[in-house]
Structure formats: C-alpha cells, structure tokens
C-alpha cells in the first residue's frame, strides 16, 4: 500500500492530489467497507464521515480528524504515516481538501482542481514554511504554556542569574522599571523571569519529582556588567506578575513548532495527573494538566493519552472485612504538547467528566 502524508520540508513524499469528483457520491466503496479496513488498527471511521472537508483558517488537525474518525489520535494510521513522518511537522493549509478514500480506508490531501499526482523532493527547510499551516490543537490555548511555566527537574534556577537589587529600593518591579542582576548571561540579552514555585509530588510514590517555577515576565539587557562591577542592568519589558529581589532569569526559548501530529505512544504508558495548572484540584475541557511521565518514558510532542477517573478504594458494604477498588472510567483524551524528562504538560480534549489530581492517563485503547 502506498504511503500518503502531507507536505513536509524535511523528507520526500509522494502525494496524490485527488479531484473532488473522484469521491463524489460516496466513491467506490461504502463507509462500512472503509471501517473494516481501519478497524484492523482500531481506527474506525464515523458512520456519518463526510466525503471531503475543505480546510479553513481556524481548523486544527484534531478537529478535522474528529470529523472523520471515532478516535482523533488515529490520524497517522489513516494517513499511512510512519514514525519518521510523525516526528516532522505536518503541514496542512487553508484551501486544501481532505478526502475520505473509502476504498483504502485512508484520508488524502488535495487541492481544488489539482493535478492527479505531484512529487515533492525538498532539499532543505524553506524559511517561513508552515507559518500559515493549521495547528494540531488550538494554538491560542497552549501558546503561553510552551515557554511558561517552567518545570525544573534539576537545580537549574540555583545557578541562574538573579535579581539582586531594584532602583531606589523598590520592593516590586513593573513594566519600564530597572532590575540589577548578577550571574552569567552567556551572551544572552533577553530573559524570562521566574520565581521558584511549588513542588510537584508523584501521586503514587508521594515523592517530589519536580518543581514548577512561576513565570513573572520578560526583561531585556540595557547595560552589561564590567570588570569593575559584575552587575548587569535590565529593563522590564513585560510583566505578568511583579518581580522582586531573588527572582531568577532564564534565556527565552526558541519559537516552538505547533504542527506536531496527534499519535498514540509507541509503548504502553500508565501515568497519573500530578497537578492542574492554576492551583486548583479539578480541570475540564481545554485546561492544562501535568502528568508524571515524560521523555524518559517515550512521550513526545503530539502524544495522545486516554484519561480515566481513577477508581476509588471503598469498603465493601456487603463484607465488612473487605475493601474493593472501583473500576477506572474513561472520560476523554489528553494531548501532550510540552515534554520534560519525567513530567509532561497536556491539554484536556473531549472530556466527559472533571479530571482530578491522581486520575490516570494511559495508552489509548
């Protein structure tokens, strides 16, 4: 079977561009036949799946997949993608058409009135490629979390540059004010400011597995320290919260790529919810949670996990000497968008109940 994917700038790909007439009126096979093909990998199509969808601005890979599939994390399966394809950006642009190929149980990408086949053999990444491509999940929801807050698994902040004084002895700093800093800048000029935050405890072992630093804002170097004085002068250019003496500086990370592909993990994962961002104990649709699994367990950007309310252990009312654990109940999916060594941030998707600290996140069934 041929491999089909979307335009990627790193690897060569052959992409059939199918005209809308090719699958008008139901194509050459029924939805049931397409489902029979897909069900071999547990990736069933919806009975009411459309023949095609014209991509518009505001679409996401997850949303488009939800139009065709019972499980949106099956996106790579129905595109015939391999692991290397998943690791590369998945470019789909407004105006292109996603076709439901009922014959082969696949989704395909085309342009209106396009040529039957186009072969792409790119040699290098083109600047700006993907700028207008649709994201995997709503970018506006996760964008602030791609660089803030910061998970600290080692003693990173202990050796980071720190604010040692403020102008005229101010207690707190806001936009436009000066901060005096000591520490190695390593050539950097723009930094994010953090304050050591709460410890994150593993729900199972109860051990502290990381710290979640609080993002305060951004500062820009005005004057670097000299041999006579190793104090650097910074201006506050953005303030989410007020800064103070003792707060730490970290380099601003590079702009992230949002076009990762939703996919299940390569290995079985059994994670637990460590925290709900914002200091609350429960979360719902489009909220951010942290789990106690990360790169060391094979998670990467775009990994999708199934969420479960973790079944409580209760006393059996029919047997006073016996306790019993209730079954875990599936309630939705978690889309992993930022990964550290042993911690990951995920966006809650399609949830049917509240998600609590201690709930489970596992490989989708």
pLDDT in tens, 86-144: 766 667 889 999 999 888 888 888 776 543 333 333 333 333 445 678 888 887 778 77
pTM of the model: 0.73
User: Tokens at residue 130, please?
Assistant: 């993907």
pLDDT in tens, 136-188: 888 777 877 776 667 887 667 778 999 999 988 788 898 999 999 999 999 99
Residue 43: pLDDT band (50, 70, 90) is confident
Query: Whole-angstrom distance between the N-terminal and C-terminal Cα of the chain?
Result: 25
pLDDT in tens, 315-335: 888 877 788 888 999 999 999
DSSP code for 91: B
What is the spatial distance between Cα 322 and Cα 300, in angstroms, rounded to a whole number? 41
139 versus 360: the higher-pLDDT residue is 360
What is the spatial distance between Cα 27 and Cα 103, in angstroms, rounded to a whole number? 8
Domain ranges (residues) in the chain: 13-140, 148-251, 270-362
- Please, how many CA atoms are within 13 Å of residue 338, restricted to the half-sphere of its CB? 19
11 versus 201: the higher-pLDDT residue is 201
- Please choose, from the candidates 60, 36, 50, the residue with its C-alpha nearest in 3D space to the C-alpha of residue 286: 60
As a whole number, the mean pLDDT across the chain is 79
CATH topology of domain 270-362: Thrombin, subunit H (2.40.10)
The percentage of residues in the chain with a pLDDT greater than 70, rounded to a whole number, is 78
* Average pLDDT of the residues in 268-290: 89
pLDDT score of 40 more than 50? no
pLDDT score of 288 more than 70? yes
The whole-number pLDDT of residue 11 equals 23
What is the spatial distance between Cα 244 and Cα 251, in angstroms, rounded to a whole number? 18
Map 135-166 to HEC letters. CCCCHHHHHHHHCCCEEECCCHHHHCCEEEEE
- Please choose, from the candidates 105, 55, 114, the residue with its C-alpha nearest in 3D space to the C-alpha of residue 80: 105
């Amino acid at each position: 079977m041929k491999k089909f994917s979307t335009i990627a700038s790193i690897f060569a790909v052959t992409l059939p561009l199918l005209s809308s007439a090719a699958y008008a009126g139901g194509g050459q096979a029924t939805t049931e036949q397409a489902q029979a093909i897909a069900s071999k990998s547990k990736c069933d199509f919806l009975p009411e799946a459309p023949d095609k969808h014209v991509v518009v601005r505001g679409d996401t890979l997850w949303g488009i997949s939800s139009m065709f599939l019972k499980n949106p994390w099956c996106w790579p399966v129905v595109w015939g993608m391999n692991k290397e394809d998943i690791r590369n950006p998945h470019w789909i642009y407004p105006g292109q058409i996603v076709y439901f190929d009922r014959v082969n149980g696949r989704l395909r990408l085309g342009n209106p009135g396009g040529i039957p086949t186009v072969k792409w053999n790119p040699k290098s990444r083109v600047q700006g490629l993907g700028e207008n491509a649709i994201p995997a999940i709503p970018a506006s929801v996760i964008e602030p979390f791609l660089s803030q807050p910061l998970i600290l698994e080692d003693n990173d902040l202990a050796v980071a540059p720190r604010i040692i004084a403020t102008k005229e002895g101010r207690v707190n700093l806001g936009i436009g004010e000066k901060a005096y800093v000591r520490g190695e800048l390593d050539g950097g000029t723009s930094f994010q400011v953090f304050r050591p935050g709460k410890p994150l405890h593993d729900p199972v072992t109860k051990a502290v597995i990381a710290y979640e630093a609080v993002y305060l804002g951004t500062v820009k170097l005005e004057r670097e320290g000299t041999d006579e004085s190793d104090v650097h002068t910074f201006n506050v250019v953005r303030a989410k919260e007020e800064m103070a003496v003792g707060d730490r500086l970290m380099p601003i990370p590079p702009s992230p790529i949002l076009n990762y592909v939703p996919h299940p993990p390569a290995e079985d994962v059994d994670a637990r919810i460590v925290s709900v961002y914002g200091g609350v104990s429960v979360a719902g649709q489009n909220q951010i949670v942290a789990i106690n699994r990360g790169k060391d367990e094979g998670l990467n950007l775009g990994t999708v996990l199934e969420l479960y309310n973790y079944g409580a252990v209760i006393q059996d009312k029919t047997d006073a000497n016996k306790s019993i654990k209730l079954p875990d109940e599936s309630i939705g999916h978690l889309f992993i968008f930022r990964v550290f060594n042993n911690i990951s941030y995920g966006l809650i998707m399609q949830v049917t109940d509240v998600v609590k600290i201690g709930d489970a996140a596992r490989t989708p069934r």
